[in-house]
C-alpha cells in the first residue's frame, strides 16, 4: 500500500437511500455502493473518509420526542456512529484492510458571524413557520425549514488521534462536519454549539491540509462544477486554477449551499499544499482522479 493519503469528502446523498427512503436496509445498500466506489483507492493508498449526514439528522429531527434542533450536537454524534460503523464495515470487507470510525469534534469561533445569521436548513419540511426559531421557505415555496448556524471550523480535536490511526487503518472521521464546540483555542471548558452544524467539506479540507494529504476528492451527485449550472447553456469546467475559481465564486457562479463550499474548500487545500483537489461524481471517482471527468482545481 502507498504511504500517500487521499481524503474523500463523501456527500450525504452518497450514503443515503435513493428517493428519500430511510430504512436501514436501504441505507446499507447505498453505503455498500459507495464502498464499492472507494475500494480500488483503499487498496492502493490510505483513506480518510469524511461523510455527510443531512438525511440521517433530518430523520432524527422528524422523530417524535427526539427531534430537538437545540440538540444538534447529540444528533451529529449519533449519526457519526451510525454511518461510521456502516462505512467501516463495508469498506473493510471489500478492501480487506482494517478500518476504524471515530466520533469527531471540531472547534469553531463563538464569535463567528454565522451564529448571528443562521442559514443552514435542517430537519423536515414544515407546513407552517415554526414559532421562536429561525426558518426559511423551501425553494418551491410550499413549506418551511428550520435554519441553524454553520460556522467555519478552525481545528479538529481528534486530529492527532486520526493521524495515529492512519498509520495502520483507513479512517472514517469528521462525519457531518463533526460535533461543533464553540471555543477558539482549546477544548478545555468548550461548550457544544447545540444549534449549529459544520460543513463537512470544510472539515475535509482542514484535515487534508493538516495531515499533508496527496489528494482531496469531493464526491457528489453531479458530474463536476459547471458554469451556468441548471440552464441550457451550462458547461462543465474540467480544470480551474485558484484565481479562476475565486473569480467564479465572486461572480456567484456556484450555489452557496452546494457547490460553493466544495470550491472554497478546494481552494484552501490547493493553496496550502500545492496539490490538486478534485470534484467528481459518485461512479466516476477513478476517472475524476485521472482528470478525464469531473473538475480539478490546481494552483
Active-site residue numbers?
Answer: 12-13, 120, 200, 262
Burial of 50 (0-12, 13-18, 19+ CB in 10 A): buried
Whether the CA torsion 208, 214, 216, 219 is positive or negative: it is negative
Coarse DSSP helix, strand, coil percentages of the chain, rounded to the nearest 5 percent: 40, 25, 35
Per the structure block, which three cell numbers stand in for 266?
A: 478546494
Concatenate the DSSP letters of all residues of 106-167 into one string: EEE-TT-GGGTS--EEEEEEESSPPTTS-EEE-TTSS-EEEEEB-PPEEEETTHHHHHHHHT
CB-based contact 171:47 (threshold 8 Å): yes
Amino acid at each position: 500500500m502507498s504511504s500517500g493519503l487521499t481524503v474523500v469528502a463523501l456527500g450525504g446523498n452518497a450514503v443515503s437511500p435513493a428517493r428519500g427512503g430511510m430504512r436501514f436496509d436501504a441505507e446499507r445498500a447505498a453505503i455498500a455502493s459507495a464502498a464499492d466506489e472507494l475500494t480500488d483507492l483503499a487498496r492502493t493508498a490510505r483513506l480518510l473518509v469524511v461523510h455527510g449526514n443531512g438525511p440521517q439528522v433530518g430523520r432524527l429531527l422528524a422523530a417524535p420526542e427526539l427531534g430537538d434542533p437545540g440538540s444538534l450536537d447529540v444528533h451529529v454524534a449519533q449519526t457519526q456512529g451510525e454511518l461510521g460503523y456502516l462505512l467501516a464495515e463495508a469498506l473493510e470487507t471489500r478492501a480487506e484492510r482494517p478500518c476504524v470510525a471515530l466520533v469527531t469534534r471540531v472547534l469553531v469561533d463563538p464569535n463567528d458571524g454565522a451564529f448571528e445569521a443562521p442559514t443552514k436548513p435542517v430537519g423536515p419540511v414544515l407546513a407552517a413557520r415554526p414559532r421562536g426559531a429561525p426558518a426559511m421557505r423551501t425553494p418551491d415555496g410550499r413549506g418551511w425549514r428550520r435554519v441553524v448556524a454553520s460556522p467555519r471550523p478552525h481545528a479538529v480535536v481528534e486530529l492527532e488521534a486520526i493521524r495515529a490511526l492512519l498509520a495502520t487503518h483507513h479512517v472514517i472521521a469528521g462525519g457531518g462536519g463533526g460535533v461543533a464546540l464553540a471555543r477558539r483555542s482549546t477544548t478545555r471548558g468548550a461548550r457544544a454549539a447545540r444549534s449549529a452544524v459544520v460543513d463537512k467539506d470544510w472539515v475535509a479540507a482542514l484535515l487534508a491540509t493538516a495531515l499533508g494529504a496527496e489528494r482531496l476528492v469531493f464526491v457528489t451527485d453531479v458530474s463536476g462544477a459547471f458554469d451556468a449550472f441548471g440552464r441550457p447553456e451550462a458547461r462543465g469546467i474540467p480544470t480551474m486554477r485558484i484565481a479562476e475559481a475565486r473569480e467564479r465564486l465572486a461572480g456567484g457562479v456556484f450555489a452557496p449551499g452546494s457547490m460553493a463550499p466544495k470550491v472554497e474548500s478546494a481552494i484552501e487545500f490547493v493553496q496550502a499544499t500545492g496539490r490538486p483537489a478534485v470534484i467528481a461524481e459518485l461512479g466516476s471517482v477513478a476517472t475524476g482522479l485521472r482528470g478525464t471527468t469531473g473538475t480539478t482545481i490546481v494552483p
